[in-house]
DNA sequence: CGCATTCCCTGGGTGC
DNA sequence: TGCACCCAGGGAATGC
């Protein structure tokens, strides 16, 4: 599932591939992918627009076009593929096909159909729109510091894992990296956040950025081997230490990694290294 | 307001 | 081999 680092990788790859290209035609094969407007309106707003700039807040991709911003959330399994002029872009899971001015197609694939696309006029303030209603500062935003996290944590009774996953506090961390961040911080994911000090949040934030930055770097190296016909899904090669490692040895102490459920999410933890505060 | 629960989807896994 | 069933999971909506 794409989290901040994968979204960043997808963005950079697409920037490299389609910056400056014009959308000449759109085929919407599954309209529920689009928020608030119908397929016809979506098409009307985007045809003849050019991909100008590429940015991101948390896990949301933002394509700046001439008159509108196209916002995309990949959720669980959303992927963009670029097909060459002579390639067949159709498949069971190809839901939206953007025909480009040079004959290539940008294709949105999504097996579970959880992804969402939003189109907003450039006249409106983007971050006040529905897509960003529950999205706080990006994890790399300078507004996010130890004091901010501490203040946010004070009034919540929730666990560290759920806090890290709460996009309204800090946007970008998903299930995989939340586990890795808790592990690197030597804190049990079920730690109640009101037990944590400002100093703890300093350490947690530092680890968050190290983990995310490391994954972006790993994605960046992977992406060089991508050819245009392969999926632009931001696969990364970062060595995960606990996530999906149930029963395997903890890289620090050698004890077996447990799988538990925290806030309804599958969670991997080393009982020995990660303490409840 | 916070927090828990339900829903959206489908492939993959399990059990018979 | 096939069928019924259950589950994962990000985030919005709903309920308390």
Q: What is the pLDDT along chain A (277 residues), one digit of tens a residue?
A: 788 988 898 898 899 999 999 999 999 999 999 999 999 999 999 999 999 999 999 999 999 999 999 999 999 889 899 999 999 889 888 999 999 999 999 999 998 899 999 999 999 999 989 999 889 999 999 999 999 999 999 889 899 999 999 999 999 999 989 999 999 999 999 999 999 999 999 999 999 999 999 988 887 544 333 333 344 444 444 578 888 888 889 999 999 999 898 988 989 999 999 998 8
Q: Which of A3, A6, A8, A180 is catalytic?
A: A3
Residues A118, A75, A7: CA angle, nearest 5 degrees: 85
CATH code of the region A4-132: 3.20.190.10
Q: Has A202 been annotated as catalytic?
A: no
- Identify the H or E element spanning A138: strand A137-138
Residue A258 (CA) to nucleotide B8 (C1'), in angstroms, measures 29
A165 CA to B16 C1' in angstroms comes to 39
The residues that bridge with A249 in the sheet, in sequence order, are A256
Nearest residue to A16 via CA among A71, A82, A75: A82
- Residue A112 among known ligand-binding residues: yes
Spanning CA of A94 to C1' of B11, the rounded length in angstroms is: 16
What is the rounded distance in angstroms from the CA atom of residue A116 to the CA atom of residue A133? 14
Catalytic residue among A75, A192, A265, A271: A265
The class level of CATH for A137-269 reads mainly alpha
- Strand C bases with any atom < 7 A from protein Cβ: 8-13
**A89 in active site:** no
Is A134 annotated as contributing to ligand binding? no
**A3 carries an active-site annotation:** yes
CA at A138, C1' at C15: how many angstroms apart? 30
Tokens for A12, please give them.
């950079």
Q: What are the start and end residues of each CATH 1.10.8.50 domain in chain A?
A: 137-269
Nucleotide minimizing C1' to CA distance for residue A244:
C8
Long-range contacts of A33-40, Cβ-Cβ distance < 8 Å, separation of 24 or more:
A33/A95, A33/A96, A33/A108, A33/A110, A33/A113, A33/A115, A33/A116, A33/A117, A34/A96, A34/A116, A34/A117, A34/A118, A34/A119, A35/A116, A35/A117, A35/A118, A35/A130, A35/A131, A36/A118, A36/A130, A37/A119
Q: Where in chain A is the domain with CATH 3.20.190.10?
A: 4-132
Pairing mode, if any, of strands A170-171 and A137-138? parallel
For A274, residues 6+ apart whose C-beta sits below 8 A from its C-beta are A182, A183, A186, A187, A188, A189
Q: Is A2 a catalytic residue?
A: yes
């Amino acid at each position: 599932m794409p989290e901040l680092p994968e979204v960043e990788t997808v963005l950079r790859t697409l920037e490299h591939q389609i910056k400056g290209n014009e959308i000449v035609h759109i085929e919407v094969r599954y309209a529920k992918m689009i928020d608030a407007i119908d397929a016809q309106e979506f098409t009307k707003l985007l045809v003849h627009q050019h991909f100008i700039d590429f940015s991101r807040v948390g896990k949301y991709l933002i394509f700046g076009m001439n008159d509108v911003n196209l916002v995309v959330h990949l959720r669980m399994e959303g992927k963009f593929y670029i097909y060459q002029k002579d390639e067949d872009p159709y498949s069971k899971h190809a839901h939206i096909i953007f025909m480009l001015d040079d004959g290539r197609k940008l294709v949105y694939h999504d097996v579970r159909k959880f992804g969402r696309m939003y189109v907003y006029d450039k006249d409106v303030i983007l971050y006040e729109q529905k897509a960003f209603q529950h999205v706080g500062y990006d994890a790399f935003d300078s507004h996010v510091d130890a004091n901010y996290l501490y203040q946010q944590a004070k009034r919540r009774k929730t666990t560290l894992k759920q806090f890290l996953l709460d996009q309204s506090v800090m946007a970008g961390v998903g299930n995989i990296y939340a586990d890795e961040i808790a592990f690197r911080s030597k804190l049990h994911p079920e730690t109640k956040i009101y037990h944590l000090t400002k100093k703890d949040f300093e350490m947690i934030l530092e680890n968050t950025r190290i983990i995310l930055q490391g994954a972006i770097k790993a994605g960046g190296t992977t992406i060089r081997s991508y050819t245009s016909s392969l999926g632009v899904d931001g696969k990364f090669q970062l060595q995960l230490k606990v996530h999906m490692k149930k029963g395997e040895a903890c890289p620090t102490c050698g004890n077996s990694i447990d799988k538990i459920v925290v806030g309804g999410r599958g969670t991997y933890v080393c009982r020995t290294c990660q303490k409840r505060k």
